[in-house]
Structure 1
Amino acid sequence: MILWFTLVQVAVAVIAGLVALGAGLAGRRPGDVTVGGMALITLLLVVQVVVAVVAPLTGNPALGSLIEFWVYLVSAVLIPPLAVLWALVERSRWSTVIMGVAALAVAVMVWRMNVIWTTPPL
């Protein structure tokens, strides 16, 4: 993984998560800003999939468990679209909160993927 790209992904996910949580707790239904934030997170995760495939070929192999890394990555890629789908099916303030929680969960998962990639097993 690339550290600066990891930090960008975490920052975007945290900002989108806090915005969605704030909007949901303020009573706002899913809108362009909250759904757009989730779309940006998804786009960054798709780029991360490409980086994870190309990085070992360029001399940046994972030091930790590849299986664990890929399970985190695939799960993280699935979370934002599923949260948006839920929000569009059930258009309530709580679905906006769910998108915020999903974005924050992705931030934690991306950081964990970085730890797995850069830390050798004990």
Structure 2
Amino acid sequence: MTVMFLIGAIVCGLSVLVCWTMTAVRDHPADSSIISLAAIELYLLAYAVYAGIRQLGGASVAGEVWEFWGYILTALLLPVGVFIWAMIDKTRWSNLVMSFVGLVVFVMVYRLEEIWWGSAL
């Protein structure tokens, strides 16, 4: 288990908890839910930079490189897309939809670790 994975698990988990809480107490998209999406996006940017530096340094990905970077690019688009959607649909349920970003990104980062290292954590 890498440090980057652990950081991602914590960021995603906290985001999910914040969004679920805001779903229960707010009837519109909460600022804290939006900030939690931004935290996920910042984490993913850091993960992408770390992966890029690692690959430029000569390290290889155990799986397919196109699949690895495809996961990263897709994961980077999720928080942005859901943020835009939440700004359009200003209901309580926007917070719930934002919570799914944390869950999906966690699974994607787990898969990235499998592709990167060649085995499950």
Fold match, TM over 0.5?
yes
CA distance in structure 2 between the aligned counterparts of 1:52 and 1:80, rounded to whole angstroms: 19
Please report how far the alpha carbon of residue 46 of structure 1 lies from its aligned counterpart in structure 2 after TM superposition. 1.0
Q: Deviations over 1:1-46 (max 9, x none)?
A: x81012101210121012202321x152212211001001101111
Q: Secondary structure at the match of 2:29?
A: coil
> Could you say which residue in structure 2 is the equivalent of 1:61?
60
Q: Where does the alignment leave 5 or more consecutive residues of structure 1 unmatched?
A: none
Q: Over aligned residues, Cα RMSD in angstroms?
A: 1.6
Amino acid at match of 1:54: I
Q: Secondary structure at the match of 1:60?
A: coil
Contact residue 15 and residue 99 of structure 2 kept, 8 A: yes
Sequence identity (%): 32
CA distance in structure 2 between the aligned counterparts of 1:113 and 1:101, rounded to whole angstroms: 18
After TM superposition, the structure 1 = structure 2 runs for residues 23-42 of structure 1, keeping only pairs within 5 Å, are 23-24=22-23, 26-28=24-26, 29-42=28-41
CA distance in structure 1 between the aligned counterparts of 2:12 and 2:59, rounded to whole angstroms: 24
Alignment pair present for 1:48 and 2:47: yes
Larger relative contact order, structure 1 or 2 (CA cutoff 8 Å, min sep 6) = 1
> Could you say which residue in structure 1 is the equivalent of 2:21?
22
After TM superposition, the structure 1 = structure 2 runs for residues 1-122 of structure 1, keeping only pairs within 5 Å, are 3-24=2-23, 26-28=24-26, 29-119=28-118
Please report how far the alpha carbon of residue 59 of structure 1 lies from its aligned counterpart in structure 2 after TM superposition. 4.1
Question: For this pair of structures, how many residues does the alignment match?
Answer: 118
Mean Cα deviation higher: 55-64 or 85-94: 55-64
CA distance in structure 2 between the aligned counterparts of 1:110 and 1:10, rounded to whole angstroms: 8
Please report how far the alpha carbon of residue 79 of structure 1 lies from its aligned counterpart in structure 2 after TM superposition. 0.2
Contact residue 41 and residue 80 of structure 1 kept, 8 A: yes
Q: Where does the alignment leave 5 or more consecutive residues of structure 2 unmatched?
A: none
